[in-house]
Amino acid sequence: MDTLFEAFLKQHDGPAWATVRTSLRPSIHEVDRNAVDIWFHFFPLPLADAFARSENPAQLAQDLRMDGNWRLNEQHDGSHWFFYGHRYWPRVKAAIIARAESTAPTSTLELGTMIRDIAREVASAERADESLVLGITAAGLMTLQQIGLAAFRRSSNGESVPPGFAKKSPAQILAARSKDDGQGLMGMFRGLKARYTVTFDERRDTARFPLIFQQHLTTASANDTRQYASGPRRCHEGPIPVQCRTASCGTCWVGVLAGADKLSEVDEMESRRMKEFGYINTAETRPVIRLACMALGTGNVSIVIPPWNGFIGKAGLGT
């Protein structure tokens, strides 16, 4: 049986959450703004609701051609590893559990205000800026709504923050994201041979591969010959899963943490296919979700590779 707090959260559907996120976005630190948007696309509420209502989840997964791990309850402690605010997760999680278990009436019936209240409490305890905690708090409450308090209490596959990365300030991370690789003394003559870097895990110096000017992200990824087949998705050519390179399979969708302006604009095909897959529905020319096989890079880019892919748009379950 749901607690009163859980019942309160479940009053909010996808559009309600979108409204709250829009209102919170200016207050979320720049280092995590795109990360929050990406996370909500990686774990959409309509998809979780569909599986919760389904009498045959295995058949639903087959119908939607789900591949990888879309189950938030199996990875909720690590699903937001790419947030700067992930370092505050243990205290955020504890604060959310305390609210959910409390028998006292909630101090507010406005979701955005509740997110701010919890973030302010955690920020004070961590001696951190509230803007750095807002995003991870919003993700935490959405997680509780999707998986329920019993699963939320349990530990899942977590992702620790490496000590070296933990020492970096938001300003240092933003500076690194905005910087393109230098082209050396002969850079002005490189032209179409200019080489840049795609980072797919900012916590690790090895989680990157080179990209030649105006090369598709998937083509650049395929040149990374290291082994990536052991993850939740099948990766046979570099870290970005790919099966078709023609926007037909949907396996290569990625979140763009930084460098969206250094990727080609979304064309009509990519826009249509992303809606069909259910990954994003937007009129933005350079959104935070892209099909890597369609995106041409012209500079350094930081991306996040989701743990699953599918055809959820055709069932009306996209974001």
Claim to verify: residue 253 and residue 133 sit in the same structural domain? no
- The predicted-structure confidence for 194-212, as pLDDT tens digits, reads as follows 899 999 999 999 999 999 9
The pLDDT of residue 189 is above 70:
no
- The predicted-structure confidence for 73-92, as pLDDT tens digits, reads as follows 999 999 999 999 999 999 99
Please tell me the predicted confidence (pLDDT) of residue 237: 86
Supply the DSSP string of 60-82, one letter for each residue. HHHHTT-EE---GGGTTTTTTTT
The answer to the question of residue 215 being in a domain is yes
The answer to the question of residue 304 being in a domain is yes
- The predicted-structure confidence for 93-110, as pLDDT tens digits, reads as follows 999 999 999 887 777 789
Q: What is the pTM of this model?
A: 0.95
Distance CA 72, CA 42 (A): 10
**For 66-76, what is the mean pLDDT?**
96
133, exposed or middle or buried, with CB in 10 Å at 0-12, 13-18, 19+?
buried
The answer to the question of residue 166 being in a domain is no
The neighbour count for residue 317, using CB atoms within 10 Å, is 21
Distance CA 108, CA 32 (A): 25
Identify the band that residue 192 occupies on the pLDDT scale cut at 50, 70 and 90: low
Domain that holds residue 51: 4-161
Claim to verify: residue 9 and residue 110 sit in the same structural domain? yes
Q: What is the CATH number of the domain that holds 244?
A: 3.10.20.30
**For 215-233, what is the mean pLDDT?**
90
**Cα-to-chain-centroid distance, residue 241:** 16
- The predicted-structure confidence for 262-286, as pLDDT tens digits, reads as follows 999 999 999 999 999 999 999 999 9
* Long-range contacts (CB closer than 8 Å, 24 or more residues apart) made by 101-106: 101/3, 101/5, 101/149, 102/5, 103/4, 106/4, 106/5, 106/8
**Residue (of 1, 29, 7) closest to 99 by Cα position:** 7
Please tell me the predicted confidence (pLDDT) of residue 199: 98
Instruction: Give kind and range of the element (H or E) at residue 258.
Output: strand 253-258
Last residue of a domain, one of 161, 186, 207: 161
The answer to the question of residue 25 being in a domain is yes
The residue count for the chain: 319
**For 147-171, what is the mean pLDDT?**
92
Q: Could you tell me if 144 and 9 are in contact, meaning their C-beta atoms sit under 8 angstroms apart?
A: yes
